[in-house]
Structure 1
């Protein structure tokens, strides 16, 4: 049973506009948006005076580790962290155990999410060197896209055969999304570092090992393949200023080649390795302050289209290992939207642009059906942000199964006051509802 809600006195942020209005939710959908609405009998009223009302964030890149790696994360925990952070929908990566590289493994993940996910969900099909038949057979409505690891990954998911790559880009029935780093260059850099430091490579060497040159070479290859075949390509987690010239500024609609960056690339830089060490070790690596500033400018002008997380939890004990054993990845979903809004408070991004990058653009790019906008008739996936209530981060409040955050000790200048998923109050500012379940994302293809 969906709840009937009337949200009053909010400042709505949608499709490049900010305006005060009331919004009625009924049957899981946005029924009416108008300057002033009267409450109906049986309708619950949420007075949102002083709050921003945004369409719920759609995170196009998360790793929830289920199946096979559930000691560090799982769909239930990570989806609850999502709604606490204002994320109402996520698209999850295929490098689980077993990997989601065929229809059966893909549908098993959907079945599990239907049981436990607090947010809406979709799952990518993974490409390998030998599953081109599975890629050809993919129903375009069954997955947001096909994930190609053109850089380092585990097992068979590193696609490095040129003929296979050509076939995937030629025949993919959905958008291709890519992780772009050149593995041979990285391997050579790491071998040189190990020759000097052994296993105990200093964390600040990470962006030199997983170098900007490795990112640039691989991204150029992906774009070359996409242009050759007319492929719809989305390049994930841009981390360098060098790659930005490869993409065009402007609205996402109509682009065949798009780019995404992640919140940690807007927040951290290589100076933070001294304080946080392997806690901010991720692939591709966090690089310089100059890269951070260039990426932020590119996001502002629409050269980078989407802002996401690449949420990738590991246990604190795993992160404490020496460099060569410490895994890459950060838990991010619970604080991603607040992290993005820091750039609004800094004056370098507008609130309207952040909403475009975290919600409208992924909805448009992946053709998500009837979500991602504050529109009458659309799913009532809503986030209320309090821009006047600071939020100091502590480990005790972390909902991700790993139990830690790279933002511990940092105070965000905003708080997530409430999150609605399909019209139901999933986060009330203090706790996640155990009763709310997300829905499988549909794609209008």
Structure 2
């Protein structure tokens, strides 16, 4: 008989926690999970998945207009936000059930309550019940950051955006990262007047400058307004229910909704981490080694709470590697190089590897190949929007070190292209590959 109630107790049932718990159980561990909200975490419940469904819905606004140029007689269309919202939330319920079922099928015990570390190998549930475990895994994720300014409580975050009663007529979105740009595109296509403000003068700082500039140009053409170098001063509620936003370097703006998309903060509060001796870094995240172990030998952490790379597939890989290392007898680390990513803006962006600026700083001499073209569908639809593909290569070896794309279906195309970059293929390998014509993806093997 083990001296502990469980081999593994996981705090948090998001993408990383679910994968770690399931795989650990498959390795023969006795596992329990505590989740105070819903099983599935940010991505499934209030992030990537429902957001992508809204992106699909938003695309129909332009597709229905474009269809007329392809011979379709489209009658006057109206948009029902409540129907889309409820259909999306219904599918979130379905996914929540599937994630729960996955854990139950692996005989993982689920506690639908909060848990905190209260001693060596011990956690206490919000009900007061105490449990012991040989290993404790913290996978509590992150939450939207809300600026500390007067009236900040009048705004919403991406969490609440999925539950709005109606699309606001005028919305101000604070931030310039992927969440801000994605929701700016969504609300704009749904008919809202969108203003995006940012403290600096740049969008999507981690992406290649050429793509950032192209997205800004297209977004402005679509009617999205941008205010740069703008810091919040205060938000006031008016008698008619509207909001007046005061900001630096710009005139006040009256809107119906303010949405904060200004980054995400690791969820470390109330977990008993400091009392347990778990080290927290200067950014408020849990410090871990390459095997996701914290400063306490029996406490591990994966996912956004560690603030390594805040992407769902990364959290899943970290959870898998943790379980294989600790319970599978197979020490496994994660390679954080060449992680592909996407921004589901309108149009979307996708990237893998180094930007041109990063490559020049790190490698010195580089060769850059581009294709700036108008997708065939846009030509027939009389839409002047242009796609841009960019390949960055090491000058001496011809090795492809980065690919960057903005245009229809860029994320779908990038997944395959990322394999080539990860495999350290060269520009000659791309050139030697026969194009699939006519497609947008063929531009990758025709770059000049």
Q: Which TM-score band (shorter chain)?
A: under 0.3
Greater relative contact order (Cα 8 A, min sep 6): structure 1 or 2? 1
In the superposition, the TM-score normalised over structure 2's length comes to 0.27
